[in-house]
Chains A and B, each alone.
Chain A
């Protein structure tokens, strides 16, 4: 039907997912307690702070920054007809409120969505509770921004 069901496209998605999951394990961002030890700035004076998360996200951004530059010199990605650039540009209330609510949830558990999925590989107790709750929360979010895409675009374009 569309480009997104062709084999090279799906193989690219699979390889990207494999690398992403491997990166989350190697960096140990799959350990919620390690993430919380980064977020605990009160431990800085005592020397108990774990800066690892910064050492993960900075090279990740750097590699992606190069990829974005390369992409801007091309008309299209290799296996699709266009780059799906996000269409929103303005700072609006849902962006700020959503980021704040996400921040509260992240600070409560040390789990963000990537590690939440990767943790399925190691299946800690209560992970299912977390995943179901995240799914319900995401669905509720889609209902709060009704008829999604077009209205959202009008707010934030």
Chain B
């Protein structure tokens, strides 16, 4: 329980909710990051606002890490960010493990039309039946994957 941080978690969640609300009420768009990212690829139609959003997302994380340093990982007062190492005993090179994870995430979110933000935040808020199914499946499978691989 050492790492549990309810106040920053709630504050960050409200910020993510406000970001999604703003994009919806302002532009009528779902703030789904896998979709924003995936539709940068040809035959993309409206690329510019997606690029603007994604660049701003990086800058927002960076700026927040300077304004509120030392919350954990990242920025001038934080620990260096690092990706999870492959589970002990699997003897898989880290880049290969990370590449397989990235491929599955890119492919899965593309054919499943969404990720934690598009289905998880926006879809559940819209009471979308598809999103309830997707969120149930990806949380359950992720929890089973962590248990089976023993990565933590």
Contacts and interface: CB of A to CB of B under 8 A. Distances in A.
Q: Is the interface of A mostly helix, strand, loop or mixed?
A: helix
Contacts of A154: none
Interface string A99-136: 11111111111111110111111111111011111111
Given A19-B22, A22-B61, 19 more contacts: A9-B26, A12-B23, A12-B27, A13-B53, A16-B53, A20-B57, A22-B60, A26-B71, A27-B12, A55-B9, A57-B121, A67-B24, A68-B126, A83-B24, A99-B138, A103-B141, A121-B65, A124-B81, A137-B108
Nearest to B47: A4
24 contacts: A4-B49, A22-B60, A23-B19, A34-B73, A39-B143, A52-B3, A56-B16, A59-B13, A60-B13, A77-B25, A77-B28, A95-B111, A98-B111, A102-B109, A103-B142, A103-B145, A107-B151, A109-B84, A111-B101, A129-B95, A137-B102, A138-B41, A138-B106, A138-B107
Contacts of B8: 26-28
B52 A17 contact: yes
A32 B108 contact: no
A91 to B, nearest CB: 5
B13 A23 contact: yes
A25 B62 CA distance: 8
B39 to A, nearest CB: 9
Interface of A: 2, 4-5, 8-10, 12-34, 36-37, 39-43, 47-53, 55-68, 70-71, 74, 76-86, 88-91, 94-114, 116-127, 129-142, 144-145, 156
Nearest to A31: B73
A122 B73 contact: yes
A77 B26 contact: yes
Nearest to B106: A137
B143 A41 contact: yes
A61 B124 contact: yes
Contact of B100 (A25, A30, A36, A108): A108
Contacts of B123: 86
A52 B120 CA distance: 15
Contacts of B121: 57, 60-61, 64
Contact of B1 (A9, A23, A49): A49
